[in-house]
Structure 1
Amino acid sequence: MPAPIDTLVTVFGGSGFLGRHVIRALAKRDYRIRVGVRRPELAGHLQPLGKVGQIHPVQANVRYPASVQAAARGASVIVNLVGILAEGGAQSFDAVQAKGAETVARAASEIGARVVHVSAIGANAESTSQYARTKAAGEAAVLAASPSATIIRPSVVFGPEDQFTNRFAALARMSPMLPLIGGGHTRLQPVFVGDVATAIADAVDGKTRPGATYELGGPEVMTMRDILEAILAITQRDRALVPLPFGLARFQSMFLQFAPGDLKLTPNQVELLRSDNVVSEDAKAAGLTLEGLGITPDSLEAVAPSYLWRFRKTGQFAPNGA
């Protein structure tokens, strides 16, 4: 593979939460980066992450093959980060996460580019969640079009701009209670966005095994109750944690899926919480993890205080020992 400065990497979906960290990690390694996004005029925040002219946003929509092929042209590596948490209009799970992933992989195959495809640990063709089923369908389509592709499956990702820890911290600021869907027993392995970005950059470097699926999790397996308790401790909020049976949570989600902002809850999100979201023993044994790539993952408790302080009653002026 040519030196990074001579290597063009096209990143689809690079303007979102994970994307901006991936772009920063690639820019630090001196790659030339083309970012395929639906609204390039709203991706100007990416350019300061690298040197002048190093990062170039272009218009691309994974639902339109011609735009994907144009964005992929001349690239040596294609990274697909495109995914959605909730459907809206033409942006359906099937169109984006299954067919869209296939479109990206086929475009890469046509030009002989390597593929790094980001999925999720919860990907499962037999899942009751359409989100998880389409993630699995996307993986299968990618490997069919590009058998040497690297699949990256993170657990729930946290970081400064996430829609996970920030969301619950915001809810705790305005509500006297937080719901524990299914009793809060679901096991997760929260992984820091910076560690995921480093792993993806390593895959672009060629440090991962061709055709392998990597599962990325943080250093701790935590239940939803553990996570909410950690968020409340960091934000110095005293809130009741109220168990909410899956049946009732699903019923409420039929209405809350139309709610704005932090109140939004979709049926797919409820279904995802029925299954644990942790790194498998098979992945650990095969070394297909962060540790297998030589990355020591950061914990939620170590990183989250650096950005969740803003949800404390007095923000940065809150006593450290409170």
Structure 2
Amino acid sequence: MASNLDTLVTVFGGSGFLGRNVVRALSKRDYRVRVAVRRPELAGHLQPLGRVGQIHAVQTNVRYPASVEAAMRDSRVAINLVGILAQGGGQTFDAVQVKGAETVAKTAAAAGARMVHVSAIGADENSLSHYYRSKAAGEQAVLAAAPSATIVRPSLMFGPEDEFTNRFAALARISPVLPLVGGGVNKLQPAYVADVAKAVADVVDGKAKAGAVYELGGPEILTMREVMEIILEITQRHRMLAPLPFGLAKLQSLFLQFAPGAFKLTPDQVAMLRSDNVVSDTAKAAGLTFAGLGITPDSIEAVAPQYLWRFRATGQFQKNGA
């Protein structure tokens, strides 16, 4: 029986938030991992996730087919994690999440490699959000180039180094008021990043259906207000949650799209908040979920305290109710 050590997996975008977790999951299963990223010199943090020589970073930009072809050389599986939340310069939604995804899929198909494409719950060609429209177009391009590709759509992901729970916890540390765009009534199904990575590794193992679209959401459906309340409880901060109408949020985003760090808010992100981000009934009925892969996902309440304690006034030493 062939060992996973005989299988080289190329992970495009493997140095990011989900990427490092996917690389860790694959390494634990003894796959050889080639991490294809724009800045390999900044991917040194991946090396301790595997044994010496098991993980190798190479320079790749999905906007340039030749670099994608070089990254796929001798590889048996391609995993595309490349995505952006905001556009800038040549890094546009269409260039990265549509054409880039198509380039990876075409290259994988030409090499006879299996294709795993990570998209997002909310991908919809009719969405008000350009991000979600590009995600839908990317899925279509991938399946046209590689019909046997497996697509994974996670809900909003949380975990150490995320730009979700950490962002709002950071805002709560410096602001007495936290805005709830649209009143915070939109529904989410936050998924723990390590669970999503495990699902991606399961797909590589051959446990998923070819050509299928899996939707991965956590064990709870929460409103944005409820998520904010959980973050405030974990960080032991008392802050006012103020509803912010969509119209006003869009107006503010025209300026905040240029703001640094946690204050950044783009018009497209406001549009994304107009729709729910939960697993569809269709996916549940077809078994194309965490449950269908035999994974029991962790909740945000179970995991977030392990890394959000640093946002408490006195860190890990702060007592409950302090």
Normalised to the residue count of structure 2, the TM-score between the two structures is 0.99
| CA displacement at 1:166 relative to structure 2 | 0.1
- 1:42-93 Cα deviation digits (max 9, x unpaired): 1011111000000000000000000000001111000000000101111000
Aligned equivalents of 1:320, 1:281: Cα separation in 2: 39
Residue equivalent to 1:209 = 209
Residue equivalent to 1:163 = 163
How large is the Cα RMSD of the aligned pairs?
Answer: 0.8
- 1:123-161 Cα deviation digits (max 9, x unpaired): 000011100000000000000000000000000000001
Residue equivalent to 1:280 = 280
- 2:16 alignment partner AA: G
Confirm or deny that 1:303 pairs with 2:303.
yes
User: Any conservation in 1 of the 2:236–2:321 contact (CA below 8 Å)?
Assistant: no
| CA displacement at 1:321 relative to structure 2 | 5.3
- 1:229 alignment partner AA: E
Residue equivalent to 1:53 = 53
- 1:212 alignment partner AA: A
Residue equivalent to 1:141 = 141
Confirm or deny that 1:198 pairs with 2:198.
yes
Aligned equivalents of 1:160, 1:34: Cα separation in 2: 23
Aligned equivalents of 1:2, 1:268: Cα separation in 2: 46
Give the unaligned 5+ runs of structure 2: none
| CA displacement at 1:320 relative to structure 2 | 3.6
What is the aligned residue count? 322
Aligned equivalents of 1:206, 1:272: Cα separation in 2: 32
- 2:199 alignment partner AA: A
Aligned equivalents of 2:23, 2:222: Cα separation in 1: 29
Residue equivalent to 2:223 = 223
Residue equivalent to 2:114 = 114
Equivalent residues in 2 for 1:1-322, closer than 5 Å = 2-320=2-320, 322=322
Aligned equivalents of 1:34, 1:191: Cα separation in 2: 25
Normalised to the residue count of structure 1, the TM-score between the two structures is 0.99
Q: Per the alignment, in what secondary structure is the counterpart of residue 152 of structure 1?
A: strand
Percent of aligned pairs sharing the same letter: 74
Q: Per the alignment, in what secondary structure is the counterpart of residue 116 of structure 2?
A: strand
Give the unaligned 5+ runs of structure 1: none
Instruction: After the TM superposition, list the runs of 4 or more consecutive aligned residues in structure 1 that deviate by more than 4 angstroms.
Output: none
- 1:283 alignment partner AA: A
